[in-house]
Structure 1
Amino acid sequence: IPFDLQDVIWDYQRMAGGQEVDGFALDTEVGLFAMKREQVHKWLRPFQKARIEVDIVQLSPLSIYNFITYDQLAEGMEGQEFDPDSPPESVVVLSMGTDSTDLVVTNGYRVWQRSIPLGGNHFTKQLTKDLKLTFAKAEHLKRNAREAEDPKTLFQAMRPVFNDLVTEVQRSVTFFQQIDRKAKIRGIIVLGNTTKLPGLKQYLGKNLGYDVLPFEKFKRLSGEPISTPSFKDNSMSFGVCYGLCLQALEESSLTTNLVPREILTERLIRSKKPWTVAGVALLLLAFSFNYFFIENVHKDTRQDVWESSLNKAKQVEQTVSTNKSTDGQKVSQLEFVKTLGEQVAGNRDRRLTWLELLKAVNESLPHNPEFGPGHRYPNDYPYTKRPELYVDYVESKYFDDLSTYFTDEVKKKYLEGYGAIKEREKALAENQPVPPVTPPADGQPVDGAPPADGSAPDGTTGEAVAADGTADANAAAAEAEVTWPTGPGWVIELKGHHYFNGDPRTWGATHVRNTLLWNLEKGTVALPVPGSEPVEFTMKEMGIGFPLIAVSSEIDQKHTIKNPEAEQSAQMAGGPGGFGMPPGAQGPGAQLPGARLSGSATLPGGAAGDPPKEVPLSFKAPKYDFVVQFCWQETLLTKRLDERKKLEEEQNPTTEANPDDVVMNP
């Protein structure tokens, strides 16, 4: 069972067949059947609201198995012992429902089942799609296919669903035969009202290679209702109901029951209540007689000796009660004042939380001190040396419990980045060299780096070069010290890109970890505080943490950004579309702010009348796209300051003054 046993309701039964020799079971199989607990309670809830007690809960494929073994295969099983080396021939039962089809393979002794996600509605939806019909019109045509104006077109439209059904059945039967190589398929029994679709049985028999066994009536049912037209018209869909009734009558092969044990226990207790009440009444009567006899003896004792002590005790009790009542009132008043103060201060602070978050994110983005306001020409400052992260959008999603966000995949991605951050933090603490975040000051690439134009082999993944197994080792070591967040909170998502892809040691995802993830994990942000200077808060104090790279792309080494001077040069040579020049560039990157453009017909760097210099059409800018996510649990400014104050008091406890040491000035 691929679930925790606490999350499922399960039952088991020894299957038919097998032998027992000297008290030992040989060639015996035990069937273990389970269903998720939440699904069982979901289907029982309407009955509980209607106060209808459900006695049996069974899987529909197993009800079909009970029906087939009792009504269709009983004759062949009478007086026959099961031989595991030569088992009886099996039949494939297809019970087609509205949205799914239950496939059951059984020889009367063994059962194998699978649910196929194809049903009657899929034929109707295919008609609505291909013939552009409403669902009701398509359903009517499906049920009256032979009376349609063009039956051939109708069947051609439904052929894809026929093919999908045949493919799924063939795959299921092939898989079953691989599991049980001794099994032989005798034929197919088709159930469900969907089988009334003209040509379905013939199509299945022709394409599956098995005979479709006729099913016209229930062999072991009798009575006047069996012969009514309504029963005959719907007999194909009674298989599940038939099998469930057999189990209720204790005539079925499988008797497992998936009614929750707690419900059965509750019913048992309810049935025992009358006897319990009677027993309690008898005990009460016995205690009453006992009390009568004891009280009869106790009344002869003198009580005036204890009168004064009892009065004093009552006075003390009244005093204690009064003090407790007064104390309770004071505590209630204190709680009211605290709550009122939190509401007044909290409303002011809540208006700033999102602004504080945006500032924290902005402070976490890398800022190059050499790249001030204004635009730097790419020839002077290549894109591969620009550490800036360009944010495309910021999204947020609220979770009632952040533990639902941290799936195994999310935890794995976070631990990979967290391990790298811990290694970098350790290196910084020990003054060891760490991968650079920005290029060297002299503008030259570091040793071993590719050219500054960003050229690199195609197919680079955006991960820095590292020793084999380092990331896994870091993640394994970090997992032991991480406490995953719980409770309500937000997940913030940033999608962006950067061109800082000139050095394999710092390009792609490594640059994002060294800057944005590092700052979100270990950085600080200065925020204004009313009545004082700005206060530096850590990201943890802000409620920000657990940053990870959710999506990491390969570095696009062929990405370029158009040169606005090339467009100006083309215009001065005859305008867009002029002789010997391409049309003017439009769209993203066609014009960069602050480009070095001249107000005359002179190209940059030359005098009027000089020959035009060759201007590059575009600049190479290897692009790396990423999506970063992190958690944010709102922490109000007042709460942050209170916690910091408590921490300072714990670290620097003050000694209470001794009244005898106080000197009073006259």
Structure 2
Amino acid sequence: MAKGNAVWGIDIGQCALKALKCRAHETDADQLVVESFDFIEYEKILTQPEANPDELVADALEQFLSRNEIAGDKVAISVAGQSGLARFIKLPPVESKKIPDIVKYEARQQIPFSLEDVVWDYQQLTGGSEEDEFALEPEVGLFAMKRDQVARALKPLEDAGIDVEYIQLAPLAVYNYVCFDRLGDLRDQPYNPEDPPPSTVVIAIGTDTTDLVVTNGYRVWQRNIPIGGSHFTRALSKELKLTFAKAEHLKRNATQADDPKAVFQAMRPVFSDLLAEIQRSLGYFKSIDKTAKIGDVIALGNAVKLPGLQRYLAQNLEQPVNAIEEFNNLSAGSVSGTQVYKDNILSFAPAYGLCVQALGKAEIATNLLPEEIVRTRLIRAKKPWAVAGAAAILAGLAFNYVTHVSAWSETRTDAMQKALGSADRIVQKASGLESTRSENHANFDEIKELGEDLVSNVEGRLSWLELTKAINAALPRDTRKPEDRKETAEDIMSREEIHIVAMDQKYFESVADEWFSLVEADYQDKRFSSQSGGGESEAGAEEPLEEDYGDSEAEGGEGMSGPGWVIQLTCYHYHNKRDGMQRKEFVNETFIKQLEEGTVQLPDGTDDALIDVPIADLGISYPYVAREMKLVKEIKNPDEALLGSGGRRRAASALSDYGDGGEAEGEEESKDIELERFNFVVQFAWTPKTRRERVEIRAAREAAEAAAQEAAAAESDEVAVN
């Protein structure tokens, strides 16, 4: 790995190779010093049909190495923004230590490829708040790039013998430049999300694309616009019937053309398209960030020098557009007087941002360099030490061998040989006995495992039946006789009944790590919070269990260990009278409480006698209302339930036969009942316990209770004596 204190930022663009060599300022931490630079323009633009990109880049790198010394320096490169993926995700309040697990889950959702096929990294953005190791509304930047594109970006540098240590997306390199060079003072002020500082807009016009970066120093938003400097050249080539090379020359010297007006007229559609894309992008940014205010607008890239472009953008954006003439926090020294550097300073911003990151001063320090490459370089760097260590070990072994041979030759007598032979026989006999012991032990383990499997199969076949019986026992019921019940809204909404319409389950290798660690905060909030007014979901809406939770490596809840199931029950109830318990409160005080504290009759007693077994002893833990929906109106007709389809019509017809007291013939009396229905979802963990395990749990509990009673009695006796 590189050991020097200088770094190279290399931006391999479509038109030229730009490179800066910088080091940290000796006294000013907010300054960098330029030690060297290079600007190598290709003979042709890489996207021209007749161009050979690999050959042109290889030639540029060969020329770069012939003019610059990079041994011992770190190297950072940029890749085009459209080659990678950038997502900025706002997370809900969460423990800081759980952010990596949540980001990994989000990466699976946000990245449209398998994680094995991409190189990805993330970083939590600054500006958020944290209390008691609990992040409040943190925002995370997630960045990814396909492995084959990373390999394609690294190949020309590897072929040239350049070891790259940082790979960064070009828009993020521009963001790091802006934060370090222009927004340093803002970072010293506290961040107020309700009144953020003005956002700086950076328009970085490249050869084929334009990177639009909007940042206030704390938050960043970027978009890639598929219009660049080459589009002006193509417009000239098409309208004026010129070759690409002549059109490029004419574009760069537009003011000296025979007919400048015709030149600008030919490029005008590209001006309009670029402006429209910038306006549309800024409009979208303002729509997603209502508090954002646009401040400075900065233009980067040599295409900005196109006559009239800067003024055209400023007039139509109604905002001054400033082209960079120098870098505020970059001490260029003698380099600043070089004509090539001054002519191309607009194109050095990405390379500047790469140097800022390589020197450890960047706001976003993510790195898309594959870990296997870093590992290979570490091994390669340690090879000389490994060879030296191996040589030292061999020398020590040789010396040890010589001393042992010398000692062995002095003790090689007949008596020693006889003693060694006797020892060998004893060792052989001991080995035979050990082999027999190991074989007997293995046979015992096999028989023991077979016996345990047979017992577990006998007991385990009842687990699901016992679970179903326990759930049934925990459900509240209307204990009145059927004839005492009335088909009225008042009666139905006073019945202590919960109805289950579906039961789903999902198996986890570790319930604590893969389920509870993700829902613990939700469980604590919903299980022990006050009565909720209903969730945000539509009535009846339900998501599959698999989509609720992803993998996690965080610690789980107490009482759960090893594999198990998460059971999900889709339920509803009508117990929603205004003057009593309703909605989630009714569920918690009945069903959930019974799952936690109730019992179920199971044949766990002597001679399979039915006894009350705590439901928790079955391995049921952490039940709670995971999802609750708003109350919905439901119209219910008793006749339809009793008489079936058409029952209401037949009942009306039967009444009309009597004449007196009935309604007019052909009319039917409405018996509709309007109820309020509460739909909800219950989840709990289930780590099945066999009958034998439940007996052990009961015995341990009884022993603990007996010990507590003895301790209390002893304490009472001691008090009486005193």
TM bucket by the smaller chain? 0.5 to 0.7
Counterpart in the other structure of 1:659: none
Contact 1:385–1:502 at 8 Å: present in 2 too? yes
Counterpart in the other structure of 1:386: 495
**For 1:357, what is the secondary structure of its paired residue?**
helix
Choose which of 616, 621, 624 in structure 2 pairs with 1:545: 621
Q: Given the superposition, is the C-alpha separation of residues 391 and 618 from structure 1 closer, same or farther in structure 2, using an over 3 Å criterion? A: same
**Is 1:116–2:254 an aligned residue pair?**
no
Between the aligned partners of 1:539 and 1:99, the Cα distance in structure 2 is 64
**For 1:500, what is the secondary structure of its paired residue?**
coil
How far does residue 293 in structure 1 lie from its aligned partner after superposition? Answer: 5.0
**For 2:477, what is the secondary structure of its paired residue?**
coil
Between the aligned partners of 2:533 and 2:219, the Cα distance in structure 1 is 44
Deviations 1:568-623 (A, max 9, x none): xxxxxxxxxxxxxxxxxx9x9996999999698348xxx94441389664334333
The residue correspondences of 1:82-93 to structure 2 (distance < 5 A) are 92-93=202-203
Give the alignment's Cα RMSD to 1 decimal: 6.5
Counterpart in the other structure of 1:493: 568
Counterpart in the other structure of 1:469: none
Counterpart in the other structure of 2:592: 517
Q: Given the superposition, is the C-alpha separation of residues 306 and 536 from structure 1 closer, same or farther in structure 2, using an over 3 Å criterion? A: farther
Choose which of 355, 358, 369 in structure 1 pairs with 2:479: 369
Counterpart in the other structure of 2:283: 166
Between the aligned partners of 1:40 and 1:317, the Cα distance in structure 2 is 58
**Is 1:395–2:504 an aligned residue pair?**
yes
The residue correspondences of 1:251-400 to structure 2 (distance < 5 A) are 258=367, 267-285=377-395, 287-289=397-399, 291-292=401-402, 295-296=405-406, 298-301=408-411, 303-306=413-416, 310-311=420-421, 313-341=423-451, 343=453, 353-372=463-482, 376-379=485-488, 382-400=491-509
Counterpart in the other structure of 1:611: 661
Q: Given the superposition, is the C-alpha separation of residues 390 and 59 from structure 1 closer, same or farther in structure 2, using an over 3 Å criterion? A: same
The residue correspondences of 1:584-623 to structure 2 (distance < 5 A) are 601-602=654-655, 608-612=658-662, 617-623=671-677
Task: Give the structure with higher Rg (CA).
Answer: 1
**For 1:388, what is the secondary structure of its paired residue?**
coil
How far does residue 386 in structure 1 lie from its aligned partner after superposition? Answer: 1.0
How far does residue 518 in structure 1 lie from its aligned partner after superposition? Answer: 1.6
Choose which of 157, 165, 170 in structure 2 pairs with 1:55: 165
Q: Structure 2 counterpart of 1:390, which letter?
A: H
How far does residue 254 in structure 1 lie from its aligned partner after superposition? Answer: 11
Q: Structure 1 counterpart of 2:220, which letter?
A: R
Q: Structure 1 counterpart of 2:679, which letter?
A: D
How far does residue 545 in structure 1 lie from its aligned partner after superposition? Answer: 1.9
**For 1:209, what is the secondary structure of its paired residue?**
coil
Between the aligned partners of 1:365 and 1:329, the Cα distance in structure 2 is 53
Counterpart in the other structure of 1:631: 685
Q: Given the superposition, is the C-alpha separation of residues 309 and 551 from structure 1 closer, same or farther in structure 2, using an over 3 Å criterion? A: same
Choose which of 523, 542, 561 in structure 1 pairs with 2:635: 561
How far does residue 513 in structure 1 lie from its aligned partner after superposition? Answer: 1.0
Between the aligned partners of 2:166 and 2:430, the Cα distance in structure 1 is 59
Count how many residue pairs are aligned between Structure 1 and Structure 2: 475
Between the aligned partners of 1:386 and 1:245, the Cα distance in structure 2 is 69
**For 2:661, what is the secondary structure of its paired residue?**
coil
Instruction: Compute the TM-score of the two structures, normalised by the length of structure 1.
Output: 0.52
The residue correspondences of 1:399-418 to structure 2 (distance < 5 A) are 399-402=508-511, 403-406=513-516, 410-414=520-524, 417=527
The sequence identity of aligned pairs, in percent, is 24
Deviations 1:37-87 (A, max 9, x none): 9824975966699996643233534533689999xx9xxx9xxxx9x99xx
The residue correspondences of 1:148-297 to structure 2 (distance < 5 A) are 162-168=279-285, 175=292, 185=296, 187-189=298-300, 206-207=316-317, 209-211=319-321, 258=367, 267-285=377-395, 287-289=397-399, 291-292=401-402, 295-296=405-406
Deviations 1:386-431 (A, max 9, x none): 11112333333444443343356653434653699xxxxxxxxxxx
How far does residue 382 in structure 1 lie from its aligned partner after superposition? Answer: 0.9
Contact 2:636–2:675 at 8 Å: present in 1 too? no
Contact 1:19–1:28 at 8 Å: present in 2 too? yes
Instruction: Compute the TM-score of the two structures, normalised by the length of structure 2.
Output: 0.49
**For 1:299, what is the secondary structure of its paired residue?**
helix
Please list every run of 5 or more consecutive structure 2 residues that lacks an aligned counterpart in the other structure. Answer: 1-6, 10-21, 33-75, 77-99, 105-118, 123-143, 189-198, 228-268, 326-335, 536-555, 704-722
Contact 1:462–1:507 at 8 Å: present in 2 too? no
Q: Given the superposition, is the C-alpha separation of residues 306 and 391 from structure 1 closer, same or farther in structure 2, using an over 3 Å criterion? A: same
Counterpart in the other structure of 2:192: none
Counterpart in the other structure of 1:574: none
Q: Given the superposition, is the C-alpha separation of residues 592 and 54 from structure 1 closer, same or farther in structure 2, using an over 3 Å criterion? A: farther
Deviations 1:290-316 (A, max 9, x none): 542563355234645555654554444
Between the aligned partners of 2:339 and 2:611, the Cα distance in structure 1 is 84
**For 1:362, what is the secondary structure of its paired residue?**
helix
Instruction: Give the number of the structure whose residues are more often strand, by fraction.
Output: 2
